Amino acid sequence: MFDLAELYQQLILDHNRSPRNRRRPEHPQRCAEGYNPLCGDRVTVYLSVGDDRITDVAFEGSGCAISTAAASLMTEAVKGKTVQEAKALFKRFQSMVTSGGPAMGEPGDRSLGKLDAFAGVRHFPARVKCATLAWHTLNAAIDDKTNLVTTE
Ligand code: ZN
């Protein structure tokens, strides 16, 4: 049985305590808001894209430790990436937290670096929405969709 304590890895606790890129940029090109009614997590993602590359990404919001850490690690993971790379990373992250995917080192290794800290989330289906909220919201910001994103 997967232990709940294992879900809250050091990296997740650290990013919850001191989230990276939690700020409101002065002139973000795009932003989107996300809401996870199941847990009450709220996140706003601010995005600037130049030459098809994410030049700045930041967030504001309040929610559980998983959602805050996920938003923080998401901003670190996609900053500097192209829009296409960020979307591909979102798909891989989503697949990891829902189905797990191949283990590290195996053929088809799908290691996502620091984002692997969320691999345990798949054992807690209600938490998957906390972990993916910031990513869904990022996706909406990339597509310039201004409607509220909800996980329901
Ligand atoms: Zn949550």
CB 21 within 8 A of CB 76: yes
Give the whole-angstrom CA distance, residue 123 versus residue 23: 31
pTM: predicted TM-score of the whole model, two decimal places: 0.90
Lowest mean pLDDT among 16-30, 76-90, 110-124: 110-124
- Which residues, 6 or more positions from 113, have their beta carbon under 8 angstroms from its beta carbon? 77
Work out the burial of residue 8: count CB atoms within 10 Å of its CB; fewer than 13 is exposed, 13-18 middle, 19 or more buried.
middle
Largest Cα–Cα separation, the chain: 47
Q: Which domains does the chain have, with CATH numbers?
A: 4-144 (3.90.1010.10)
Q: For residue 85, report the distance from its CA to the centre of ligand 1, in Å.
A: 26
pLDDT at position 80, please? Answer: 97
CB 47 within 8 A of CB 9: no
Cα dihedral value 119, 125, 127, 128, nearest 10:
60
Q: For residue 66, report the distance from its CA to the centre of ligand 1, in Å.
A: 6
Q: For residue 94, report the distance from its CA to the centre of ligand 1, in Å.
A: 15
Q: For residue 39, report the distance from its CA to the centre of ligand 1, in Å.
A: 5
Over residues 111-152, the pLDDT tens digits come to 788 998 998 898 888 899 999 999 999 999 999 887 788 887
The neighbour count for residue 146, using CB atoms within 10 Å, is: 12
Give the whole-angstrom CA distance, residue 53 versus residue 98: 27
| Residue 2 confidence class, pLDDT cut points 50, 70, 90 | low
Q: What percent of the chain has pLDDT over 70?
A: 89
Work out the burial of residue 72: count CB atoms within 10 Å of its CB; fewer than 13 is exposed, 13-18 middle, 19 or more buried.
buried
Q: For residue 140, report the distance from its CA to the centre of ligand 1, in Å.
A: 19
Radius of gyration of the chain (CA): 15
pLDDT at position 1, please? Answer: 56
